[in-house]
């Protein structure tokens, strides 16, 4: 039976290669306010390390919220577990959270798959198939979906960020993950020049051309310059035309957020003017 202990936050270390990010958004701020008022209602899970330190297995967001709320000690279950057991617990306790990014799922599934294999819970000749089934159980997805997410770990970080930003859907991203590293770099450059991302069908063609050894810079450019049906009615703003209106350190996503906010204000103002007439 686990005994709850109160551990100083200064003695807690983040889990190495934790795929789940702690983002200080509105949900996190709400959590921090709740922690400040009521404390942590569910103890975190940690495992003991040498020199009196502890490794956090589950509860990274709660710890960060405590730090923001000025709380120095947190209730914790101190468990004795191997690294592989800790990885499985880490993934299973986080994977069903809302708003998990595709990149987080991809690396989480990959970590859990390797941990299960190391535990020897499957026969070697069937390890890949059965382990993938076990990986998806906590999240209620099939082994095929697990493998599709794991394929995303082969993407260039810039392409993977586009998946997280919903600029590239999962299906085309899986196809693009089969491109060689240098081909992915050429594709990123083409995306930035053409200011558009490949469709699913285009991604399948790029993968096929890569497999046949005929995918070069010119081939990627030809594919990316094709006009897709859903692009005929799009409004596109070139970054160079608008970046002078923003601080130098603003990202494209930050610029887009401000523009949408201003358009909402403009729409409300027009609506108010119509009502006053």
Residue 243 sits in the same domain as residue 221 = no
Average the pLDDT over each of 18-22, 69-73, 140-144, 239-243 and give the range with the smallest value.
239-243
- Residue 32, domain extent: 1-80
Residue 73 sits in the same domain as residue 20 = yes
| pLDDT over threshold 50, residue 123 | no
Residue 204 sits in the same domain as residue 225 = yes
Mean pLDDT of 180-204: 94
Output the CA angle 253-255-257, nearest 5 degrees.
Answer: 70
Q: What is the mean pLDDT of the chain?
A: 87
Output the CA angle 148-100-110, nearest 5 degrees.
Answer: 40
For tokens 């109160």, the residue is 6
Residue 4 sits in the same domain as residue 46 = yes
Cα distances (Å, whole numbers) of residue 110 to 26, 149, 188: 29, 9, 24
For residue 15, the model assigns a pLDDT of 93
Is residue 122, in this structure, part of any structural domain at all?
A: no
| pLDDT over threshold 70, residue 124 | no
Mean pLDDT of 115-128: 63
Q: Biggest alpha carbon distance in the chain?
A: 76
Report CA dihedral (4, 7, 11, 12) to the nearest 10 degrees.
Answer: 50
Render pLDDT for 15-51 as a digit per residue (tens, 0 to 9): 998 999 988 888 888 888 998 888 888 899 999 887 7
Is residue 139, in this structure, part of any structural domain at all?
A: no
Render pLDDT for 153-179 as a digit per residue (tens, 0 to 9): 999 999 999 999 999 999 999 999 999
Mean pLDDT of 131-160: 89
Report CA dihedral (230, 235, 241, 243) to the nearest 10 degrees.
Answer: -80
Residue 225 sits in the same domain as residue 251 = no
Is residue 102, in this structure, part of any structural domain at all?
A: no
Render pLDDT for 83-109 as a digit per residue (tens, 0 to 9): 999 999 999 988 888 788 999 999 999
Residue 45 sits in the same domain as residue 5 = yes
Do the beta carbons of residue 122 and residue 132 sit within 8 Å?
no
| pLDDT over threshold 80, residue 131 | no
Residue ranges of alpha helices (H) inside the chain are 26-38, 60-69, 83-94, 102-119, 127-137, 143-151, 157-164, 170-176, 181-194, 200-211, 217-224, 239-242, 252-276
Looking at per-residue pLDDT, the higher value among 244 and 185 belongs to 185
Q: Of the residues 80, 110, 136, which one is the last residue of a structural domain?
A: 80
For residue 179, the model assigns a pLDDT of 97
Residue 2 sits in the same domain as residue 73 = yes
Give the count of domains, the chain: 3
Cα(148)–Cα(233) distance, integer angstroms: 31
Domain holding 72: CATH number? 3.90.1530.10
Is residue 107, in this structure, part of any structural domain at all?
A: no
For residue 25, the model assigns a pLDDT of 84
Residue 5 sits in the same domain as residue 67 = yes
Is residue 92, in this structure, part of any structural domain at all?
A: no
Q: Of the residues 27, 47, 80, which one is the last residue of a structural domain?
A: 80
Is residue 164, in this structure, part of any structural domain at all?
A: no
Residue 1 sits in the same domain as residue 36 = yes
Cα(31)–Cα(91) distance, integer angstroms: 20
């Amino acid at each position: 039976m686990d005994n709850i202990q109160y551990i100083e936050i200064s003695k807690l270390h983040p889990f190495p290669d934790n795929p789940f990010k702690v983002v200080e958004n509105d949900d996190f701020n709400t959590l921090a306010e709740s922690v400040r008022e009521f404390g942590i209602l569910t103890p975190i899970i940690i495992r003991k390390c040498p020199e009196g330190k502890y490794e956090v297995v589950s509860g990274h967001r709660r710890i960060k919220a405590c730090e923001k709320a000025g709380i120095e000690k947190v209730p914790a279950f101190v468990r004795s577990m191997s690294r592989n057991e800790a990885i499985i617990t880490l993934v299973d306790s986080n994977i069903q959270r809302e708003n998990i990014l595709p990149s987080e799922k991809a690396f989480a599934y990959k970590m859990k798959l390797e941990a299960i294999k190391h535990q020897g819970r499957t026969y070697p000749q069937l390890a890949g198939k059965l382990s993938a089934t076990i990986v998806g159980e906590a999240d209620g997805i099939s082994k095929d979906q697990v493998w599709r997410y794991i394929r995303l770990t082969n993407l260039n970080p810039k392409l993977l960020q586009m998946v997280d930003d919903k600029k590239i859907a999962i299906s085309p991203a899986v196809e693009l993950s089969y491109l060689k590293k240098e081909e992915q770099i050429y594709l990123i450059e083409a995306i930035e020049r053409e200011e558009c991302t490949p469709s699913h069908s285009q991604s399948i063609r790029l993968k096929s051309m890569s497999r046949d050894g005929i995918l070069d810079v010119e081939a990627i450019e030809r594919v990316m310059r094709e006009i897709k049906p859903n692009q005929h009615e799009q409004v596109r703003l070139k970054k160079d035309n608008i970046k002078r209106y923003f601080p130098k350190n603003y990202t494209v996503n930050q610029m887009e957020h401000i523009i949408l906010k201003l358009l909402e204000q403009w729409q409300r103002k027009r609506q108010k003017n119509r009502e006053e007439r």
